[in-house]
Each structure stands twice: as structure tokens, then as C-alpha cells.
Structure 1
Amino acid sequence: MKIYFANGLFSQADAEFNARVVAKLRAMYPLVEVYLPQENASINDKNAYADSLMIAKADTDKVLASDLLIAVLDGPTIDNGVASEIGVAYQAHIPILGLYTDSRRLGATNQQKLDALQEVAENQFHYLNLYTTGLIKLNGKILTSVDDLLAAVREYDDEARL
């Protein structure tokens, strides 16, 4: 099985998070091949040069060659590249697992937080684009922890069950 791991990769925090989660995937599922774009120096070494066509072709080819897309949804908004990769995977009928760990999703039963929704600029919850999340839900699911994500991979391939 081949997995494409989609997340922002330009900050140290994102790069380290990506590497840590992918290391766990590789350790847990040694027969699964995980593509992590930040490891592709031909398009992501920012000291070198890669134009938009090179980046689009390289990443799209890898998405289309995958059996599963993992998409990290955290951040102020879903990363633009990740949203594009979700669209490509959806159109190609590739299952998608979204990872959404933002703590602002919590408190849906807290009446004060619900009441605050009636006041301008007092939304206590984080917003994710509904079109993008809908594409994921039509062809996969959204999980709220790395542990749940790691366990969910097992559902998508016999090799991962070993």
C-alpha cells in the first residue's frame, strides 16, 4: 500500500510534526510506503529551484499513485496545497483520512460557548471549510488524534494488517 502524507511543510513545527507522524506510520506498518513531500528535495529544497509546473506534476503524480491520502487539517485554515491534494484524491476515488487535532473543536455542549455564537466576533470554535471537509467525508473520515489516525490506516489495506 502507498500513502501520501499531506500537510504544510514550510515551518519547522510542521516539518517536525510531519516527520514524527510519518516515522510512527513507517514503524507501525513496515510494508507500507509513505510519501512525505518534504523529503522530495527535487521540488522542496527551498535553496534550489522548482517552478509551479514541476511541483504540481510531482505531487499530483504521487497522489494519484497512492492508495490512501492522509491530510492534516490543522492551522488557521487548511493548507492550500493540502486542499488541492484532497481534491485530486477525491476525484481519483482515493480514500482520505483527515487529521484534525485543533482543541478549538471541543466544547460543543458548553452552553456559554454556544450562546457566544450569537455575538459578533465571539465564535469560540475553529472553522474548517465545509466543501473540503465534505470531500473527505464522502471518501473517508476525519480523526482527532494521531493515535486514531495510526489505527485507522489498518482499515485500508491488508498489508497494514500485518
Structure 2
Amino acid sequence: MKIYFANALFSQAEINYNAQLAQQIRQLSPDIDLYLPQENGDINDKQAYADSTMIAQADTEQLVHSDLMVAILDGNTIDNGVATEIGVAYAKQIPVIGLYTDTRQQGADNQEKLQALSQIAENQFHYLNLYTTGLIKLNGTIVNNEPDLLAAVKKYLN
């Protein structure tokens, strides 16, 4: 099974997280062929040069030939590249598993947090673009922790 892993890759924290989670996914089965864009030195060696068309062609080629996409949705907003890749996956009918671990989603039954929604600039929850998350839900799922992500990947292996 070919899996495309989508996340930002511009800080050491993102690079480390991607590598750690990609390793966990790869350990699920020897049948997994996971593409992690940061491992593609032809386009993501930041000491070298790759223009926008080189990046778009290389990553899109991998994405459209994938059976599944894992998309990390965390951050101030969904990374622009990840959002674009989600759109491509949807158009190509490639299932997407979104991972959204933002802790601000906790307390959904807390009445104070819910009442704060009616006050200007007091949203206690994080917002994700509904169009982008809708594309995922139309052809996949969103989970909020790594064990559930790994379980969802296993379901697609069967």
C-alpha cells in the first residue's frame, strides 16, 4: 500500500515529528510504501534549489499514485501545502486520514467554554477550515490521537 504523508516540514520540530510518526506507520506492515516529502532531497534539500514546478510535479506524482493519504491538520491553520494536497487527494478519490491533536478541542461539554463563544474574541476552541475538513470527511476520517491514526491506517491495509 502506498501512503502519502502530508505535513509542514519547515521547522526542526515538524521534521522530527514527521519522521517519528512516519516510522510508526511504516512499522505497521512491510507492505507499506510511505512517501514522506522531506525525505525527497531532490526537492526538499533546503541548501539546494527546487522551483515551484519541480516541487509540485514531484509531490503530486507521488500523491496521485497513492492508495491513502495521512494529513496532519495541526498548527495555527492547516498548512497551505497540506490543504492543497487534501484537495488533490479528494479529486483523485484517494482516502485521507486527518490527524488533529489540538488540545483546545478538549472541554466541549464545559459550559463556560461554550458560553464564551457568544463573546467577541473569546473562542476557547481552535478552528479548522470547514471546506478542507469536509473534503476529508467525504472520503476518509479525522482522528485526534496517534493510536487512532495507526488503527485507521491498519483498517485500510485490510
TM over 0.5: yes
- 1:117 matched to 2:120? The reply is no
* C-alpha distance in 2 between matches for 1:30 and 1:127: 36
Q: Which runs of 4+ in 1 moved over 4 A?
A: none
Q: Mapping of 1:5-154 within 5 angstroms?
A: 5-154=5-154
Residues 7, 72 of structure 2: 8 Å contact kept: yes
Per-residue CA shift, 1:46-78, capped at 9, x if unaligned? 100000000000011110010000000000000
* C-alpha distance in 1 between matches for 2:108 and 2:24: 31
Post-superposition offset of 1:27: 1.4
Aligned equivalent of 1:3:
3
Post-superposition offset of 1:156: 1.1
Give % identity: 64
Post-superposition offset of 1:89: 0.3
Structure 1: gaps of 5 or more residues? none
* C-alpha distance in 1 between matches for 2:29 and 2:107: 34
The count of corresponding residues between Structure 1 and Structure 2 is: 158
* C-alpha distance in 1 between matches for 2:99 and 2:26: 17
Which amino acid letter does the alignment assign opposite residue 130 of structure 1?
A: L
* C-alpha distance in 1 between matches for 2:154 and 2:98: 15
Post-superposition offset of 1:130: 0.1
Which amino acid letter does the alignment assign opposite residue 64 of structure 1?
A: V
Structure 2: gaps of 5 or more residues? none
Residues 28, 154 of structure 2: 8 Å contact kept: no
